[in-house]
């Protein structure tokens, strides 16, 4: 009888935690949705666009669609005068894996001048990328470029830090179920990092401002 009560108790406890996870996930989306844009025409221009890094290739050797859509979105925003500079923030933890350099190569191939590309080699996590953009690169009004689910988490971090930001949501791959499940737990982790651990980026360092001229430009498409 006691064992049965224990199982019932554990079942309700598990259901409670599942409910909390869903509520927190919903809260993050609700709190940030007004700052997410899906169309180029609706997106207000900012001086800086931040591309959140990911691997270019999947394990099978094919192109990672998350990467593909982020790079395409960054290129489009640049040539449409929606951003003046592109800050490429990603992981550089291994000699043979360098997200910012990989992104830079593809942007250069698209004709974007190197003078308008800035690299952040210490964007190990979304939290690092967003906070470093503000504290290291002195950006306080920027456009994040990533998928919608990632937009929500990145903007939530920015809002908590008092950073003015918006996000351009690029397309997502079709198969998103596993990614979406992982995102539930990523949001719980962010809540713990922000509200409990008060976590800072792994590396900060001296301020390196991105010099931003007026938004008006004469780029040739």
pLDDT at 211: 75
Q: Considering the entire predicted model, what is its pTM?
A: 0.90
List Cα–Cα distances, 156 to 17, 41, 151, 161, 221, in angstroms.
Answer: 21, 24, 8, 9, 34
How many CB atoms are located within 10 Å of the residue 33 CB?
13
Q: In this structure, what token pair is assigned to residue 204?
A: 């900060």
Residues contacting residue 132 through CB under 8 Å, at least 6 positions apart? 89, 120, 122, 123, 201, 203, 204
Low-confidence ranges of the chain (pLDDT < 70): 1, 212-221
In what order do the strands lie in the sheet containing 36-37? 36-37, 164-170, 141-147, 48-52, 85-89, 117-120
Give, in degrees to the nearest 5, the angle at Cα 161 between 137 and 119: 25
Q: Is 205 exposed, middle or buried (0-12, 13-18, 19+ CB in 10 A)?
A: exposed
Provide the β-strand partners of residue 57.
Answer: 63
Phi/psi at 6 (5° precision): -65, -45
**pLDDT score, position 220:** 47
pLDDT of residue 4: 79
Ordered structural domains, the chain, with CATH: 2-196 (3.40.50.620)
Q: What is the pLDDT of residue 77?
A: 99
Give, in degrees to the nearest 5, the angle at Cα 156 between 16 and 77. 135
Distance CA 170, CA 65 (A): 11
What DSSP element (H or E) covers 88?
strand 85-89
CB crowding 11-30: b at 16 or more within 10 Å, else e: eeeeeeeeeeeeeebeebbe
């Amino acid at each position: 009888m006691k064992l049965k009560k224990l199982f019932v108790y554990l079942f309700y406890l598990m259901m409670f935690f599942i409910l909390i996870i869903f509520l927190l996930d919903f809260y993050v989306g609700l709190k940030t949705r007004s700052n997410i844009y899906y169309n180029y025409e609706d997106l207000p221009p900012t001086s800086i666009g931040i591309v959140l890094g990911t691997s270019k290739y999947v394990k099978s050797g094919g192109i990672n669609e998350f990467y593909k859509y982020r790079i395409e979105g960054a290129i489009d925003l640049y040539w449409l005068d929606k951003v003046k500079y592109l800050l490429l923030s990603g992981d550089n933890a291994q000699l043979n894996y360098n997200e910012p350099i990989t992104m830079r190569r593809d942007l250069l191939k698209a004709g974007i001048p190197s003078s308008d590309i800035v690299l952040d080699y210490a964007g190990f996590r979304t939290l690092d990328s967003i906070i470093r953009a503000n504290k290291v690169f002195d950006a306080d009004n920027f456009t994040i470029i990533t998928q919608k689910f990632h937009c929500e988490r990145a903007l939530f971090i920015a809002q908590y830090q008092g950073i003015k930001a918006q996000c351009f949501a690029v397309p997502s791959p079709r198969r998103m179920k596993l990614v979406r499940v992982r995102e539930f737990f990523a949001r719980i982790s962010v809540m713990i990092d922000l509200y409990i651990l008060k976590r800072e980026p792994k590396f900060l360092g001296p301020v390196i401002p991105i010099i931003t001229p007026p938004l008006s430009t004469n780029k040739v498409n």
